Amino acid sequence: MARKPLMPKATAVWLIDNTALTFEQIANFCGLHELEVQAIADGEINAAIIGDNPITSGELSQEEIKACEKDPKRQLKMLKSDLPQPTERVRGPRYTPVAKRAEKPHAILWLLKNHPELSDGQIIKLIGTTKNTIDAIRNKTHSDYMTLKPQDPVLLGLCRREDKEKAIEKALRKLEREKKLEAKSKELATDENKEDVAV
């Protein structure tokens, strides 16, 4: 992953105001879309952002800017830095609005009926629920079980379609591995029985 400026829009504002770089060069360096850079230059968006000088922050050199101004095809290169880079946030538990929390049992019931291959851990990760809730719905002891209607968690907005599909694929691969191991163990057991009979 290519390094980007710490404050991309502020850096773009400064580069637009203080250099003769093309919108494409600025967009590629800052990790923005070219039209977004053009809108910033026109003052249509982010008009209140104060420019951040990438030279003083150690992200660019004056020589690199001048070289790129002379050659519009050349791309700006970030200076090497000893500073630690910000890490991308790993997807994990996320906030579920209060209005959507009541929908979780409906989604759990749908997953249990339509995808029994999913483990409790996968359902917990997908929807952000607890094992107790899953067990209560599975055992039909949930307080609202009689009123629950199975609904797809994607349609309820509790998870993304890609995440659901990945979880299902992973569960199916696990089932396939388990079936192969079971078949191998049966095969080994029958081979041992044959050897015992032969002796």
Summarised one tens digit per residue, pLDDT across range 151-163 is 999 888 888 888 8
Q: Where are the domains of the chain?
A: 8-70, 108-198
pLDDT single digits (tens) 140-150: 999 999 999 99
pLDDT single digits (tens) 52-98: 999 998 889 999 999 999 998 999 998 876 666 656 666 555 677 78
The fraction of the chain above a pLDDT of 90, given in percent, is 51
Q: Contact, 150 vs 113, CB < 8 A?
A: yes
Cα distance between residue 142 and residue 148, in whole Å: 9
Question: Considering the entire predicted model, what is its pTM?
Answer: 0.50
Tell me what pLDDT residue 97 has.
78
Cα distance between residue 52 and residue 182, in whole Å: 62
59-69 core/surface letters (b: 16 or more CB in 10 A; e: else): bbeeebbeebe
Between 8 and 196, the more confident residue is 8
C-alpha dihedral over 166, 172, 176, 179, to 10 degrees? Answer: 150
